[in-house]
Amino acid sequence: MRGLMMDDPLLVSDLIEHAALNHGFQEIVSRTVEGPIHRYTYADALKRIKKLANALNRLGVQQGDRLATFAWNGYRHFELYYAISGSGAVCHTINPRLFADQIVFIVNHAKDRFIFLDVTFVPLLEPLADQLPHVEGYILLADKDHMPETSLPNVMCYEDLVEPESDEFDWPRFDENTASSMCYTSGTTGNPKGVLYSHRSTVLHTFFQCNGEGFAMNSKAVVLPAVPMFHANAWGLPYAVCMVGAKVVFPGAAYDGASIWEMLDTEKVTFAAGVPTIWMMLLEYVRREGKRFDHLTQTGIGGSAVPLAMVEAFEDEYEVEVFHAWGMTETSPVGTTGAFNCKVAEMPLERRRTYQIKQGRSIFGVRMKIVDDQGNSLARDGETFGQLAVKGPWIVGAYHDNDEANATQFTEDGWFLTGDIATLDDYGYMTIVDRAKDVIKSGGEWISSIDLENAAVGHPGVAEAAVIGIAHPKWDERPLLVVVRSEGAEVSGADVLSFLDGKIAKWWMPDAVEFVEELPHTATGKIAKLKLREQFAGYELPGVGSG
């Protein structure tokens, strides 16, 4: 017997319609690429989004067509999110920080028909255009006065494209499993892999984000997504703000500490989300300039593990709660949050902090387990390591047009193998120990490079740290700690090792410390361990002879 409820599909277009109808007065504020601050309301945005949807129809865009974006966080990019997906096409956000050959691969693999781009990315795409045969035109996100000279073929001005269209548009109704948007992984091991989100998965993920076990968002919040809209859909925040009708503040291309603080302060932001490197720059700025956070009450941090020192700085020095989350492109992206359960919330501060730097716990909608090499489930005791496997309605079920990855990263019963080595405890809290390719195997035991790095950056003279395994004739591998000194610091290797004493297991202690001017990073801001291993190829640990 079937239930007698309406079979109304979950569609992205309904989110912006809801925001405009019930929160039409609410502001969307953007720092533009041109420089000035732009502000309008959800009601204004919906009219322009419908104009854009009509313009896409005039360009001959069909349902299922992929339309790419190279853009910063701003109101025009926000309009693209909704007009493209709402009309039935696929909004394909591309990370401009990727290498040129990866960009070419992604655009061609997705068969993008049009590319929308901020003018800052014109020099990036000009030398690549002749390698992109499927692209029919380039739409620059600017008005006529800010259109640059360019060699890109078939260039159009966004404002000229949108302006003449009607602001009346009837959103098509279709199967909620239709693809809505698309992101590619950063391709640290081989070519990037395409993840196709559906309208259903996106709306369900948005429900999760807004509930009390997620980001607990509501219409009184002022939200600044410092995570780029070209990185896993800005963690879904452009959808979440519409569901609850929150004010949203887009930082544009300015991610330095001074610019972020200015937006936080002038727009009275209450919640901001981004990767640790963004917040590290912000903390350095506010400490140096003696600034405070008068409105910010919570910061969401993900993308890589949050160092305890960062949690302590935000909470103890500035009274800003740190909310840790974990996810991947393949998980839409939020898979866990650091929301305290009632037991953890009652713990003393020091004990509670040990949970706060874990990657959090899954909520309804994400199932998690850790497995051994044979796929057997392992104990949820907080100590046993295994590969993290996840399953749920907003978890990738298959990669786009990638038989090789589909054959290796999914189990026969449908679980996605993340490639993360993790533990799960009896409360459901998950801790990423390492990426499978980064964990250091020493004497038959595992050393977590993540834990070592987080301990090292607790030293005031250490700005950034990375740990890689170096071959050892007896122990298989031993850890090498690579450090970037804080500005003006004169810390030595011996100082760092002395600082680590008592904070980590003795057998985890790095065999050597090397200092560098900067660490290599991936397009998503993570430390590029592959490049670092190449940089230190042939490195000889102290006391280990070449013979």
Minimum mean pLDDT range among 221-225, 412-416, 442-446, 507-511: 442-446
Q: Is 41 in the active site?
A: no
Task: Give me the pLDDT at residue 458, please.
Answer: 92
Q: What is the CATH number of domain 12-25+38-202?
A: 3.40.50.12780
pLDDT digits (tens, 9 = 90+) for 444-467: 677 888 889 989 999 999 999 999
Minimum mean pLDDT range among 30-34, 243-247, 330-334, 437-441: 437-441
Q: Exposed, middle or buried, 414 (CB in 10 Å: 0-12/13-18/19+)?
A: exposed
Question: What percent of the chain is modeled with pLDDT above 70?
Answer: 98
Is 462:493 a contact under the CB 8 Å cutoff?
no
In sequence order, the β-bridge partners of residue 421 are 387, 434
Task: Give me the pLDDT at residue 307, please.
Answer: 86
Task: Please tell me whether residue 88 adopts helix, strand or coil conformation.
Answer: coil
Minimum mean pLDDT range among 49-58, 129-138, 393-402, 468-477: 468-477
Considering 176, 330, 453, 464, which one is annotated as catalytic?
A: 330
Q: Is 441 in the active site?
A: yes
Q: What is the CATH number of domain 438-535?
A: 3.30.300.30
Is 306:329 a contact under the CB 8 Å cutoff?
no
Q: Is 185 in the active site?
A: yes
Domain boundaries defined on the chain: 12-25+38-202, 438-535
Considering 93, 185, 329, 418, which one is annotated as catalytic?
A: 185
Inform me whether the pLDDT recorded for 319 exceeds 80. Answer: yes
Region of 466 on the Ramachandran plot (φ > 0 left; ψ -120 to 50 alpha; else beta): beta
pLDDT digits (tens, 9 = 90+) for 12-43: 999 999 999 999 999 999 999 998 999 999 99
Considering 441, 445, 534, 540, which one is annotated as catalytic?
A: 441
Task: Give me the pLDDT at residue 547, please.
Answer: 41
Nearest residue to 513 via CA among 444, 465, 442: 465
Tokens 């909608």 belong to which residue? 365
Backbone angles phi, psi at 476, to 5 degrees: 80, -65
Task: Give me the pLDDT at residue 286, please.
Answer: 97
pLDDT digits (tens, 9 = 90+) for 356-380: 999 999 889 999 999 998 999 999 9
Task: Give me the pLDDT at residue 189, please.
Answer: 56
Question: Identical fold at 12-25+38-202 and 438-535?
Answer: no
Task: Give me the pLDDT at residue 187, please.
Answer: 64
pLDDT digits (tens, 9 = 90+) for 216-256: 899 999 999 999 999 899 999 999 999 999 999 999 999 99
Of 244-248, 277-281, 402-406, 473-477, the range with the highest mean pLDDT is 244-248
Cα-trace Rg, the chain: 24
Task: Give me the pLDDT at residue 99, please.
Answer: 83
Question: What percent of the chain is modeled with pLDDT above 90?
Answer: 81
The stretch 154-182 carries a mean pLDDT of: 98
Instruction: Look at 474 and 302; give whichever has higher pLDDT.
Output: 302
Task: Give me the pLDDT at residue 526, please.
Answer: 78
Task: Give me the pLDDT at residue 450, please.
Answer: 84
